Structure 1
């Protein structure tokens, strides 16, 4: 699967780097582009056209009052995983936008968190071919014990960058 937008070309170049550097380079790219994610020290463990795997360490700067990853940081992690994945496919003349997120916090998180976002072939085709639209992505977020402390779902839309003045 090949995309031809700026983000996917950058990621493709990073995938040409030695394997031990790829996660660090992707995380640096992402942290500079999305300042809040950089501040939270989100790490991109894996990124390809179908799946994004991101990790949020349980650092003091993202902890809540009980010493686990703050609810807002969990939301950011899922948004980042789903958004980066959508961004790999949205053509350069369109703008991806987070439309909504639904998070149900069901258990206390322990330690670092890992978010996994996956796109189906149909979703990829929809993003690439429709001028505007939206998709729903369920992001699985697990803590270091394998517990899923939050059930997360994100709705991403995309629109043309240059909208006519009559809209």
Structure 2
């Protein structure tokens, strides 16, 4: 990739400083306000990888005291979207096209969502990009597995 995305450049500047991960996460949440509901904390970002943490708190719990499904889906979509934005060249854009989700066990603790591509593809023509996301609890156990399909196209 000849050029880095503005998202990745911003992350590299912010993340080196004290409070930078928090500030970067707030900027992302401000640009897509529905993500603010989970109070995400982006902790790792590079081409092909994004890791996002969220705390279990009352506002993201369901009636049985575990993290509710939509909050977990928000976490997965955020990780996949930020990873995609940091991975594709500036000459391209993306939009989520679909999501499949497997709920593997109750999410009873803080969570970490990790979007990671085994191989970063070449981006030339329009294409689907399947982004796998693993959501794990504080014990390292996978609670949700998702695949988010991104539609990646050259900018006009």
- CA distance in 2 between counterparts of 1:88 and 1:59 reads 29
Q: Which has the larger radius of gyration?
A: 1
- The reply to whether residue 147 of structure 1 matches residue 141 of structure 2 is yes
Question: Where does 1:49-88 land on structure 2 (aligned, <5 Å)?
Answer: 49-88=47-86
Q: Greater shift after overlay, 70-79 or 46-55? A: 46-55
Aligned to 1:130: 124
Name 2:29's counterpart in structure 1: 31
Compared with structure 1, are the counterparts of its residues 48 and 22 closer, same or farther at alpha carbon in structure 2 (3 Å cutoff)? farther
Output the TM-score relative to the length of structure 1.
0.83
2:41 corresponds in structure 1 to 43
Match of 2:116 in 1: 118
CA distance in structure 2 between the aligned counterparts of 1:4 and 1:43, rounded to whole angstroms: 22
* C-alpha distance 35-13 of structure 1, shift in aligned 2 (>3 A): same
Q: 1:138 to 1:8 in 2, by over 3 A?
A: same
CA deviation string 1:34-53 (max 9, x = no partner)? 11111220111111223211
Q: Which structure is higher in strand share? A: 2
How many Å separate the matches in 1 of 2:77 and 2:135? 11
State how far apart, in whole Å, the 1-side matches of 2:69 and 2:3 are. 33
Mark the runs of 5 or more structure 1 residues left unpaired by the alignment: 163-167
Give me the CA root mean square deviation.
Answer: 1.9
Structure 1 residue 13: Cα displacement: 2.1
Could you give the per-residue CA deviations for residues 90-119 of structure 1, whole angstroms, max 9, x where no partner exists? 333432111111111121111111011112
